[in-house]
A = this chain, B = another copy of it.
Amino acid sequence: MSMTDYRKDFPALHQEIQGHPLVYLDSAASAQAPSVVIDAVAEYQRCDHANVHRGVHTLSHRATEAFEGAREKVRSFINAAKSSEIIFTRGTTEAINLVAQSYLRPILKSGDQILITHLEHHSNIVPWQLVCELTGAELVVAPINDQGELKLDALYELMNDKVRLLAIGHVSNALGSINPIQDIIAEARKFNMAILVDGAQAVPHMSVDVQALDCDFYAFSGHKMFGPTGTGVLYGKHARLEAMPPWQGGGDMILEVSFTRTVYNDLPYKFEAGTPNISGAVGLGAAVDYITAIGAENIARYENQLLSYLSEQLATIDGLQLIGTAANKASVQSFVIDGIHPHDLGTILDHQGVAIRTGHHCAMPVMDFFAVPGTARASLALYNNRDDVDKLIAAIRIATELFAE
């Protein structure tokens, strides 16, 4: 089966927008879901729903099995050692905030540092700014070069024993740059810092093995990997999670409550206060199955070829400048065009059925670095093909024509 046959699995792709067949090139913002995911969620709600963990009746048992089954699928997907290391969150953002508030805030002191990079998504910047403000710690930012690659030497120079945490994206959402995360972690391990990897843009495009990476935390979102919105994962090493105080209080995260003494539940429940997004987790489990069946390596190989074609074709357009030309990239190509603001370009493309994202991509520091107010960004998933790229290019030519006069 050729990769592009998978396109038919995604109902949202088969519609007309403004009288044109939809060309969806915004998967880095949120991917479409295949029918198997949509149906798994609906089927769960139609047949198996009840609250989890607390009931002896059949539906509650089925719901719990479905929910914990999804956790086990996620564990295997990123090769975590134990399923108790998989904490369900609303998304990457909540996962990172959990680490900021529950792991870092209690131990952070004035004089401590948090090391991030200039490539990060706001969700991997603002949570650290918030804890820095509360504790007097300092946020240190590793620089990038003109290709949008991390300057590794500079990053390594910023590593020292004052750094309590390195928080780093696996793949940049604005530029697509893939960081050599394995090497970086090895280097960081020479010091006593914890390591969080923001994998939101990695898991849909490549295989991830958290044990091989040896990171302390790995965060990602369901909706970027063909799962439902409202789902996400924080992987944490058991010992780290075990040592952390709970973040939110409520049902399910306790073994025993009285007004004088409260005993917290075991992992992962300690960090899952309240009724979780059960149907969402079921959908995420289905998304994991979907990706696994195709094979992360196959997806990566196919997308890499398509990304090269995309970047090449874009480069043929007069006045178009590629933003983000790292040697090692995934899924994403940002660009700007002389005299056409990205936002206008977005509208003109949408008018022709082509959906791209325009703006700062929640990575304003990257925009500042390239001294642009924003970029246009085309991002790919396994369901895209050369025809999508060709339609994008044709639509851009119309925009340049319109603005040229």
Instruction: Say whether A195 faces chain B, with CB atoms less than 8 Å apart.
Output: no
Contact of A355 among B29, B50, B364 (CB under 8 A): B50
> Which residues of B are found within 8 Å of A364, using beta-carbon distances?
256-258
Q: How many copies are assembled?
A: 2
> Which residues of B are found within 8 Å of A51, using beta-carbon distances?
26, 29-30, 223
> Which residues of B are found within 8 Å of A42, using beta-carbon distances?
38-39, 41-42
Contact of A46 among B11, B57, B94, B355 (CB under 8 A): B11
Q: B273 touching A97 by the CB < 8 A rule? A: yes
Instruction: Say whether A12 faces chain B, with CB atoms less than 8 Å apart.
Output: yes
Q: A274 touching B12 by the CB < 8 A rule? A: no
Instruction: Say whether A180 faces chain B, with CB atoms less than 8 Å apart.
Output: no
> Which residues of B are found within 8 Å of A368, using beta-carbon distances?
258
If A12-B48, A90-B90, A96-B250 are given as contacts, then 5 extra A-B residue pairs at C-beta distance below 8 Å, sorted by A number, are A93-B248, A93-B251, A126-B257, A139-B259, A228-B279
Interface-centre pick from A55, A247, A343 (highest chain B CB count, 10 A):
A55
Q: B38 touching A45 by the CB < 8 A rule? A: yes
Contact of A259 among B90, B273, B365 (CB under 8 A): B365
Q: B94 touching A358 by the CB < 8 A rule? A: no
**10 A-B pairs closest in CB distance:** A93-B274, A230-B277, A126-B249, A123-B250, A93-B250, A57-B355, A56-B346, A29-B51, A30-B51, A251-B362
Instruction: Say whether A208 faces chain B, with CB atoms less than 8 Å apart.
Output: no
Number of interface residues of A (CB under 8 A): 95
Q: B93 touching A273 by the CB < 8 A rule? A: yes
Contact with B along A332-363 (1 / 0, CB 8 A): 00000000000100110110001111110110
Could you tell me which A residues sit within 8 Å of B by CB distance? 11-12, 15, 17-18, 22, 24, 26, 29-30, 32-33, 37-39, 41-42, 45-51, 54-60, 90-94, 96-97, 100-101, 121-123, 125-130, 139, 141, 221, 223, 228-231, 246-254, 256-259, 262, 273-280, 343, 346-347, 349-350, 354-359, 361-362, 364-365, 368
> Which residues of B are found within 8 Å of A249, using beta-carbon distances?
93, 97, 100, 122-123, 125-130
Interface-centre pick from A96, A97, A123, A246 (highest chain B CB count, 10 A):
A123
